[in-house]
Structures are given as C-alpha cells and as structure tokens.
Amino acid sequence: SYVLIQPPSMSVAPGKTARITCGGNNIGSKTVHWYQQKPGQAPVLVIYYDSDRPSGIPERFSGSNSGNTATLTISRVEAGDEADYYCQVWDSSSDQRVFGGGTKLTVL
Amino acid sequence: QVQLEQSGAEVKKPGASVKVSCKASGYIFTSYYIHWVRQAPGQGLEWMGIINPSGGSQTYTQKLQGRVTMTRDTSTSTVYVELTSLRSEDTAVYYCARQPGVVAAPLDYWGQGTLVTVSS
C-alpha cells in the first residue's frame, strides 16, 4: 500500500516561514491535499490539488509537489497557525485514500 | 450552507457493534461522495472508506474489510457507518467528510466528529 511520510513535529518563530514536507514514492504524479487540524476540532482543507487555496484560506498558505516530495509552505507564520497538518492522496492503484502521519507545528 | 451533522457519542463493550450517522444539508446529496475517517486518541487520521450516495457503491480500507459497512438513505440525506466486533483499538473520533464527485478531489467539508469509546 502507498505510504506518506511526514516529520512528526516542527517549530518556527512568528513571522518566519514553515515548510512541512510529505514524502511518497513518485508523489509528484499524484494530487496532494493538505488539512489543518486544531485541538478538539475537525480537520479543515487548506490546500487542494497540490497548490490551490479554498476561499477563506490566507494567501500565506501555499503548496507544491514534485518528484518524491510535496510541501506545504506557511509564510509569515502566526500564533493561530499552530496545529497538526496532514497531507492526503488518492492511490489509484488500490482505490484507497491515504493520509500522512501528520506534522505538529509549534509556533515559538 | 453546507453542513454534515453527526450523531452523538457512543460507549460500547468489546464485541458489540456501533452505527454512526451523518446527515447532510445545504447541497445536493447525491452529487458528492461521503468518506469516513477516524482518529484514535492522540493519533493521526485514518481513512476508513467511501460511499457514493447516488448509487450506494462503497470502497473500504483493506484493514477494516469484513467489519465495516457504509449505507445511505437518500430520503433523509443521511449516511451511516457501522462497525462490528468492536475492540479497544476502535476507540476513536469518527468523522464524515464530503468529496466533490470528481476523481481525486479533496474532502472539502467535515462533520463535527463522533466519539466512540469501546470499553468493558
């Protein structure tokens, strides 16, 4: 089955840039979505189709996908961005949806 | 506005079954797939499966094959997930989420979650 690998945690100072990676075999050939989840809340879609932003999501959130790594970039990080972030793909070979293990972002 | 309203928390004994509901509103029910995703305490998101409310077809994760069933009632715009032979590892928050009817589309709206606790 297809596996997505994310760093378990990362920390960043306010105003800096956070880059959260999602590794998978030839993930660049797949479509990647990113979700933000704050404690006690349901996940929220923040990036879809690799780099598109839903309405209401700040322009500070962006995404890219190439080769074996997809990246969620959060510019000018704010305290309110502190959350868990999950990448997700559709594995067409097995018709299964797959989530990465999640990355806990801490704002220092 | 789009809403996915889930049923309330459940406490079950090992070996029992649980059925969680997800009532959709604010959009055309049969035009969007519904996924079920669960999250054990302190853990990540785990995809359980998908149902097409239009025809009722389902696809499940291999891990839960034989124990999970997803159904829908188009008259009430409600989707259900039933999990049988419950074990402690099934303790989790269960979410339903909507996917536009396009291949590889994202899960754009989520329910509030339903806590299922399995304990003797």
Provide, as residue numbers in chain B, all residues whose Cβ is less than 8 Å from the Cβ of A45. Answer: 106-108
Q: What is the rounded average pLDDT of the residues B78-99?
A: 98
Residue in B35, B46, B95 closest to A42 by CB: B95
- What's phi and psi for B4, nearest 5 deg? -125, 105
Asked if A23 and A8 touch (Cβ cutoff 8 Å), the reply is no
Q: Which of A54, A97, A102 sits opposite B44 (nearest CB)?
A: A102
Per the DSSP assignment, residues forming a β-bridge with A62 are A73
| Contact check, Cβ <8 Å, B62/A1 | yes
Measured distance CA(A85)–CA(A102) in Å, rounded: 5
DSSP type of residue A12: E
- As a dihedral over the C-alpha atoms of residue A45, residue A48, residue A53, residue A58, rounded to 10 degrees, the angle is 40
Instruction: Report residue B108's pLDDT band, with 50, 70 and 90 as the boundaries.
Output: very high
Q: Where does the pLDDT of residue B59 fall: very low under 50, low under 70, confident under 90, or very high at 90 and above?
A: very high
pLDDT at res. B102:
86
The 10s digit of each residue's pLDDT in B30-48 is 999 999 999 999 999 999 9
For B41-67, give the DSSP string.
Answer: TT--EEEEEEE-TTT--EEE-GGGTTT
- At residue B79, does pLDDT exceed 90? yes
Predicted confidence (pLDDT) per residue in A21-68, tens digit? 999 999 999 999 999 999 999 999 999 999 999 999 999 999 999 999
Are A87 and A70 in contact, with CB atoms under 8 Å apart? yes
Among B88, B58, B44, B113, CA closest to A98: B44
Model confidence over B23-32: pLDDT tens digits? Answer: 999 999 999 9
Task: Answer whether residue B117 shows pLDDT above 90.
Answer: yes
Q: What is the pLDDT of residue B32?
A: 97
Q: How does residue B120 score in pLDDT terms, banded at 50, 70 and 90?
A: very high
Please give the single-letter amino acid code of residue A18.
Answer: A
Confidence tier at B101 by pLDDT (50, 70, 90): confident
Sequence-ordered list of residues with C-beta below 8 angstroms from that of A29, at least 6 positions apart, any chain: none
- Mode of pairing for the β-strands spanning A9-12 and A103-107: parallel
Q: Which residues of A touch B50 (CB under 8 A)?
A: 97
pLDDT at B103: 82
Model confidence at A14: pLDDT above 90: yes
Contact (CB, 8 A) for B97 and B38:
no
Of the candidates B45, B61, B112, the beta carbon closest to that of A96 is on B61
pLDDT-derived band at A99, boundaries 50, 70, 90: very high
Contact A81, A38 (CB under 8 A): no
Place of tokens 């190439």: A66
Give yes or no for B38 touching A (CB within 8 A).
no
Question: How much of chain B exceeds pLDDT 90, in percent?
Answer: 97
Percent of chain B clearing pLDDT 70 (strictly above): 100
- Between CA B59 and CA B85 the distance in angstroms is 19
Q: Do A99 and B47 touch (CB under 8 A)?
A: yes
User: Average pLDDT of chain A?
Assistant: 97
Sorted by sequence, the CB contacts under 8 Å of residue A65 that are 6+ apart come out as: A27, A28, A30, A31, A32, A50, A51, A71
Considering only CB atoms, which residues of chain A are within 8 Å of chain B? 1, 30-31, 33, 35, 37, 42-45, 48-49, 54, 84, 86, 88-90, 92, 94-102
